[in-house]
Amino acid sequence: MPSQAQLAAALSASAQGISFAQARQWLLTRSDRLGAAASEVESARLRRQAVQGLGGPTIAVTGMAYHYSANADLSLDPARHALDNVLGLLPPQLGGAIGGRLPQLPSSINLQREETRTSASLSLLWPIYMGGLADAVRGELDAMADEAQADANSAGGSQDTLLVQRYFGAQLAARAAQLRSQALAGVREHADAADRMLAAGVISELERLQARAALADAEQQARKADDDARLATTALARTLKIPAPLAPSNPLFVDSRPLAPLDDFIASAHQLHPGLAKVQAKRRQAGALHDAQEALRRPQVLGFGMREVATHGKPNWVAGIAVRYTLWDSIDRDLLAAATQKKLDQANQTEQQALSDIALLVEKNWLAVEQARTQYLAQQAQEDLARELLRLRTAALKEGTGTPLELIDARLNLAKVQTERAQTANQYVQALATLLEASGQAGDFERHMARADIQIPTQTP
């Protein structure tokens, strides 16, 4: 985001206005939509990086600390019976003497053990073969990252087109306001002349009233044009998130030369249009999902191992290979595979439809640019006629063969024709921006603007 120093510098340049290149750079750094799209791209990129090692070994350490207390009651009755049997086998004198000297055994003994222990172990799990599941997951995340990038490119193209609409819309409004202001000055001059001519008895009261009515209408049109210009400039400032409105400095333009062939723009769109890139990313996601379903049909081979971390003695360990193959599953894998294949078919058909729609959109905008170009050139004759008519009406009034109202009408007609030409130039600019966005070349707008051989300045001599 631009610093306060950059903002101050931009605001200090308001007297000179802001160029389209400056406005575009400002928009790129302050647009919330572009910022959100960039964050989504970065998020998708980080997700893909996170699973780069998917399918590799996993090593874990497990530690335990525990305290236990064990209690047990042991019955001594079997031992007492066995001892009595042994004594019974001895001679009576010897058995009695020994038995009398032996202590009397209790009927049972209670044993109790209480201890605190710790243990730790290292374990390893290595998916040696998963049927291509890891590659399918990575492929899907790659496609998701491409989809996020396509969305970001689409957002960038639409923001460029929006900037063209707001920037040159403000320029058109400023030119219309300037033309209306010039016309108002001329109409006011002629209305004042009509007052003097009435006083001299040259014209009638009706003609003077008609001149005053034309003046009132010109004043209203000039006020409306000024309001429209202020609103358009404010809209541009809001788009750029600038607190003070800045007037655009680059004029409306038209290139009298024809565009490149339509096929060139269609070919570019098929290569660069972000919408098509998104459809292709969706198709790759469907393909990765289908591959993942197929991977679940294949056997899985895992390597594993575990070793105790012991501070004394010889530690226990185990290592081996496990093979798992599903013989029967409650989920119908055939139907799931068929479902993912249908999604893949849908993606392929959507891509073909997108190719057709994009080609049609490019052709529509290409024709709009050409129509605006030829219309602007054709309007030159109308402007020449309006200028000549104004010259003749001015000369006629000086010679006394014309009326102020005729001169007013001629001046207003010239302003109208010039405004219409400016509107046509704006149509050319807007159609060009839309064409470049549709063909994936939104960033080339400034190049087309620089090579245009017709500039329509705001100030009219």
Q: Write out the DSSP string of 414-431.
A: HHHHHHHHHHHHHHHHHH
Extract the tokens encoding 177.
């306001």
Mean pLDDT computed over 4-24: 66
Query: Quick one: 15 exposed, middle or buried, by C-beta within 10 A (0-12, 13-18, 19+)?
Result: exposed
Residue 77: helix, strand or coil by DSSP?
A: helix
In a domain, 83, yes or no: no
What is the reported pLDDT for 447? Answer: 94
Those residues whose C-beta lies under 8 Å from the C-beta of residue 103, and which sit 6 or more positions away, are: none
What is the reported pLDDT for 459? Answer: 63
What is the reported pLDDT for 6? Answer: 55
Mean pLDDT computed over 262-280: 92
- Identify which has the larger pLDDT, 21 or 331: 21
Mean pLDDT computed over 414-443: 94
What is the reported pLDDT for 371? Answer: 97
Q: Which of 65, 125, 161 is nearest to 305 (CA)?
A: 125
**Number of domains comprising the chain:** 1
What is the reported pLDDT for 428? Answer: 97
In a domain, 121, yes or no: no
Q: Which helix (H) or strand (E) holds 376?
A: helix 333-399
Mean pLDDT computed over 406-419: 90
- Identify which has the larger pLDDT, 457 or 217: 217
Asked if pLDDT for residue 94 goes beyond 60, the answer is: no
Locate all alpha helices (DSSP H) within 111-261, ordered by sequence: 133-199, 205-240
Strand-pair partners of 60: 123
What is the reported pLDDT for 389? Answer: 93
Asked if pLDDT for residue 4 goes beyond 60, the answer is: no
Extract the tokens encoding 383.
């402007």
Nearest-angstrom CA–CA distance, 171 and 247: 8
Mean pLDDT computed over 133-144: 91
What is the reported pLDDT for 1? Answer: 45
Mean pLDDT computed over 74-89: 63
Mean pLDDT (the chain) is 86
Per-residue pLDDT band for 245 (boundaries 50, 70, 90) equals confident
The enclosing domain of 331 has a CATH number of: 1.20.1600.10
In a domain, 332, yes or no: yes
What is the reported pLDDT for 2? Answer: 47
Tens digit of each residue's pLDDT (9 = 90 or more) over 327-360? 888 888 888 888 888 988 888 898 899 999 999 9
Tens digit of each residue's pLDDT (9 = 90 or more) over 369-411? 999 999 999 999 999 999 999 999 989 888 878 788 888 889 8
Asked if pLDDT for residue 5 goes beyond 80, the answer is: no
Mean pLDDT computed over 145-169: 92
Residue-range definition of the domain harbouring residue 167: 22-56+146-456
State the sign of the Cα–Cα–Cα–Cα dihedral 270, 275, 281, 285. negative
Per-residue pLDDT band for 460 (boundaries 50, 70, 90) equals low
Cα dist. 211→91, 150, 325 in Å? 159, 59, 97
What is the reported pLDDT for 111? Answer: 73
Helix, strand and coil percent figures for the chain, each rounded to 5: 70, 15, 20
Q: How many residues are listed for the chain in this entry?
A: 461
Q: What angle do CA 245, 250, 253 make, to 5 degrees?
A: 130
Those residues whose C-beta lies under 8 Å from the C-beta of residue 402, and which sit 6 or more positions away, are: 393, 395, 396
Per-residue pLDDT band for 66 (boundaries 50, 70, 90) equals confident
Mean pLDDT computed over 250-279: 93
In a domain, 89, yes or no: no
In a domain, 68, yes or no: no
Per-residue pLDDT band for 86 (boundaries 50, 70, 90) equals low
Per-residue pLDDT band for 145 (boundaries 50, 70, 90) equals very high
- Identify which has the larger pLDDT, 341 or 253: 253
Asked if pLDDT for residue 98 goes beyond 80, the answer is: no
In a domain, 65, yes or no: no
In a domain, 103, yes or no: no
Those residues whose C-beta lies under 8 Å from the C-beta of residue 72, and which sit 6 or more positions away, are: 110, 111, 112
Q: What angle do CA 454, 459, 461 make, to 5 degrees?
A: 90
What is the reported pLDDT for 308? Answer: 85
Mean pLDDT computed over 18-32: 89
User: Are the C-beta atoms of residues 445 and 365 closer than 8 Å to each other?
Assistant: no
In a domain, 357, yes or no: yes
* Predicted TM-score of the model (pTM): 0.78
What is the reported pLDDT for 77? Answer: 66
Per-residue pLDDT band for 9 (boundaries 50, 70, 90) equals low
